[in-house]
Amino acid sequence: MAIKAKHQRLVLLAIALVVLIGAALLAAWALRNQASYFYVPSEIVADPPSPDRAVRLGGMVEKGSLRTEPDGVTIAFAVEDGNARVPVVFKGIVPSLFVEGSGVVAEGKMATNGTFVADNLLAKHDENYVPREMQNMTDAQARKVVAETK
Amino acid sequence: MHGFANPARFLRIARWLMPLCMGTGIVVALAALGWGLFAAPAERLQGETVRIVYLHVPAAWLGMAGWMGIAVASFTELVWRHPLAGIAARACAVPGAVFTAVCLITGSLWGRPAWGTWWVWDGRLTSMLVLLFLYFGWMALSQASEASDGGQSRAPAIFGLVGAVNIPIIHYSVTWWNSLHQPPSITMGKSAMSAAFLWPLLFAMLGFTLIFAGVVLARMRAILANQQAEARLRRKALAEGDL
């Protein structure tokens, strides 16, 4: 009898856990767009947010796109995700990890001319950790060395 | 199963296992931190700030491991009524909360130079903060049930299981949602982290995990000793009442 009660508890608890995990997964699924910290360029291009709405734009700083405006404090660059690109302007001090080809999250608004006006920039680094000795290598070379040392 | 349920047997094992875990843990963790902070190289883009990883990642792992410990103990308590399960869950809560707090603090200190911000309400950061609040809630509930009915209540165990839902959310937050936090560097069998960072990090994780185990065993011994002392006092009071 004691064994039966134990098994009953085990089965009930297993069912409760399955239901709980299912509910959590459904909630996470429902949140999949709302809980994202930023939009990628293809989402912005496909469905441009209205100019009065503050949004975050995240992606890679397009190589060769970064330039400083004549006033010396405004920078212009493009954020791309491989499918689309969005031009961005920003006035202020950039984080030290902000370089061409690296990840960035820009907070700001979409101007009516299709340019994203950022009022804050956050640098986003990737999951690759490479020693400083390899800094003169290209990203592809460095990644290859890391892959070989695992 | 019930062979290990015997508190006397557990105490016999814990008496030598606790100092063993604690001792090796402290030695390994200090060696790994020394290695990471002084011998390991600086990172290509992040420079010297990368060294905070040797504290941040072990703390994040143990903050989550602490709740997984609570969840497994809660499951064992609810199904098998294992006498040590509730005690094990209570012993995991404080070190788990401390490591979660260390993870949040070191993460914030790291976020400033790396991302340019102390804090963002991003999926990973927010779910980790929720974990800290879950620990606080669990400790309050467990203490309340202890005070009201001597720990007979199953409420902390149910809370422990329900709260475990947050653990996969923390883990997958960076894959499910666009996040400022980068995806995991170390996944099953492969690493996007160069070996020069990976080895000291793995040793730091091992060292802190052993310290965590030592703290849990020490706290379990203390809780058992407390219960025995209380039971003895109660028996004494009863015996004196009979006279």
* B13-67 per-position pLDDT tens digit: 999 999 999 999 999 999 999 999 999 888 887 888 889 999 999 999 999 999 9
Nearest CB neighbour to A37, from listed B122, B169, B185:
B122
Q: Do A8 and A52 fall within a single domain? A: no
Q: A7 labelled as ligand-binding? A: no
Q: Do A16 and A54 fall within a single domain? A: no
Q: Do A15 and A86 fall within a single domain? A: no
Q: Do A11 and A69 fall within a single domain? A: no
Max CA pair span of chain B: 78
CB contact under 8 A, B196 and A96: no
Q: Is residue B1 pLDDT above 70, yes or no?
A: no
Q: Is A150 inside a domain boundary?
A: no
Distance between B19 CA and the closest CA of chain A, angstroms? 34
Mean pLDDT calculated for residue range B204-223: 96
**CA pair distance B142, B157, nearest whole angstrom:** 9
Closest to B178 in 3D by CA, of B122, B111, B117, B113: B122
Q: Do A69 and A107 fall within a single domain? A: yes
Contacts of residue A28 in chain B, CB cutoff 8 Å? 169, 172, 176
Domain count, chain A: 2
DSSP sequence for A96-119: TT--TTSEEEEEEEE-TTS-EEEE
Q: A129 labelled as ligand-binding? A: yes
For strands A116-124 and A85-91, give the pairing.
parallel
Q: Do A120 and A49 fall within a single domain? A: yes
Closest to A45 in 3D by CA, of A82, A73, A8, A11: A82
Q: Do A16 and A75 fall within a single domain? A: no
Q: Is A146 inside a domain boundary?
A: no
pTM: 0.85
**CA pair distance B135, B99, nearest whole angstrom:** 11
CATH code, domain with A46:
2.40.50.140
Contacts of residue B184 in chain A, CB cutoff 8 Å? 127
Q: What's the domain range around A87?
A: 41-124
- What angle do the packed helices B85-115 and B195-242 form, to 10 degrees? 150
Q: Do A54 and A29 fall within a single domain? A: no
DSSP sequence for A16-66: HHHHHHHHHHHHHHHTTTTT-S-B-HHHHHHSPPPTTS-EEEEEEEPTT--
CB contact under 8 A, B192 and A131: no
Q: Do A19 and A53 fall within a single domain? A: no
- What angle do the packed helices B7-34 and B53-80 form, to 10 degrees? 170
CB contact under 8 A, A127 and B184: yes
Q: Do A108 and A47 fall within a single domain? A: yes
Choose the mutation target among A37, A42, A90, A105 for the interface with B, i.e. most B CBs under 10 Å. A37
Q: Does B44 touch chain A (CB under 8 A)?
A: yes
pLDDT score for A135: 56
Q: Do A12 and A46 fall within a single domain? A: no
Q: Is residue B74 pLDDT above 70, yes or no?
A: yes
Q: Is A149 inside a domain boundary?
A: no
Q: Do A114 and A89 fall within a single domain? A: yes
> B84-97 pLDDT, tens per residue?
999 999 999 999 99
Tokens of B169: 């959310």
Q: Is A52 inside a domain boundary?
A: yes
**CA pair distance A128, A108, nearest whole angstrom:** 28
pLDDT score for A1: 47
The interface pTM score, or ipTM, of the predicted complex is 0.73
